[in-house]
Each structure stands twice: as C-alpha cells, then as structure tokens.
C-alpha cells in the first residue's frame, strides 16, 4: 500500500510498476508463508490453496491483459490481502514472543493458545482466499468466456 501511495503522490507511477507491484506483493507474502511452513507454524495444504489462487488469478489477469482486457480487483480480494497481512503479523508476533521467552520457553497453555491463534488466522485467510477467487471468476465470467473464444 505504502509504495503505491508514495508513487502516486510523487507522480512516479508507470505501467510496468502497476504490473510488477502486485506480483512483488504476492512473492513477499507467499515467500513468508513458505518460510512459516518450513518452521512448522502453518499447514502446507493451506498455503497450497493460497498459492494456487494467486497463480491462477495472476495468470488469468495477464492473459486477459494480453487481449487488452483489464480484470479489476474487488472488495473481497482486498479483504483477502488484509487477512494475509494480519496473519503474517500475528505469526511474527508469536515468533517474537517465543524468542523473548527463550530459553525457558512459554507456558504450555500459552503455547497451545498461540498455535490455535495462528491456525485460526490461517483458516480465515484460506476461506477469504477461496471466496475472493470464486467471486473473481463469477464476476468476470462473461469477459473470460469471451477472451477464451476470441482468436489471439
């Protein structure tokens, strides 16, 4: 959000920046989720759903753009992105708390609560990911069918 706001404020926007900015955001978010899998903080299947949605919709948007069709974002996609960012912040706070409590560690009840908190955040993120993906395809169904039917 900040880089886009600054680019608009200083009149430093470009077509390339508009294309690369959301891709860079996705790489950052997905990279963090993959690191969290490696740390055994979140289930891989949840990240696979998020990754699949992001890759499919980005691919469809690029395909549509190659045919001069712009597929806009919607409110549910923004909610999905906010949930991803909040989930990442929650996980980073949990990692900080664990590091802060080392070497003795956190109480088992606190540790269990934090694990459930992370999983709950991930469930919300996955549900919003699926809803926003379905909404994207439903909202753009006629455009997508038309784009597929036109010869390139």
- pLDDT tens across 107-123, in order? 999 999 999 999 999 99
Q: What is the mean pLDDT of the chain?
A: 89
CA-to-CA distance for 146 and 148, rounded, in angstroms?
5
Residues of the chain with pLDDT > 90, as a percent, come to 61
Instruction: Name residues whose C-beta falls within 8 Å of residue 33's C-beta, 6 or more positions apart in sequence.
Output: 42, 47, 50, 51, 88
Are the beta carbons of 98 and 117 closer than 8 angstroms?
no
Confidence label for 52 from pLDDT (cuts 50, 70 and 90): very high
Q: How far is CA 109 from CA 13, 96, 101, in A?
A: 49, 17, 14
Report whether 144 contacts 60 (CB < 8 A).
yes
| pLDDT tens profile 86-98 | 999 999 999 999 9
The pTM of this model reads 0.84
Return the pLDDT at 152.
Answer: 52
pLDDT at 60: 87
Tell me the CA distances in angstroms from 132 to 6, 38, 64, 142, one per residue in order: 27, 26, 18, 17
């Amino acid at each position: 959000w900040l880089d886009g706001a600054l680019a608009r404020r200083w009149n430093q926007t470009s077509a390339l920046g508009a294309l690369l900015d959301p891709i860079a955001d996705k790489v950052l978010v997905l990279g963090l989720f993959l690191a969290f899998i490696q740390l055994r903080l979140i289930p891989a299947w949840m990240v696979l759903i998020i990754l699949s949605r992001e890759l499919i919709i980005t691919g469809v948007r690029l395909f549509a753009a190659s045919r001069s069709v712009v597929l806009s974002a919607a409110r549910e996609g923004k909610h999905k992105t906010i949930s991803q960012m909040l989930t990442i912040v929650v996980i980073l706070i949990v990692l900080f708390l664990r590091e802060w409590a080392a070497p003795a560690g956190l109480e088992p009840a606190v540790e269990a609560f934090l694990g459930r908190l992370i999983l709950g955040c991930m469930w919300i993120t996955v549900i919003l990911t699926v809803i926003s993906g379905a909404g994207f395809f439903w909202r753009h169904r006629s455009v997508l069918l038309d784009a597929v039917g036109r010869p390139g």
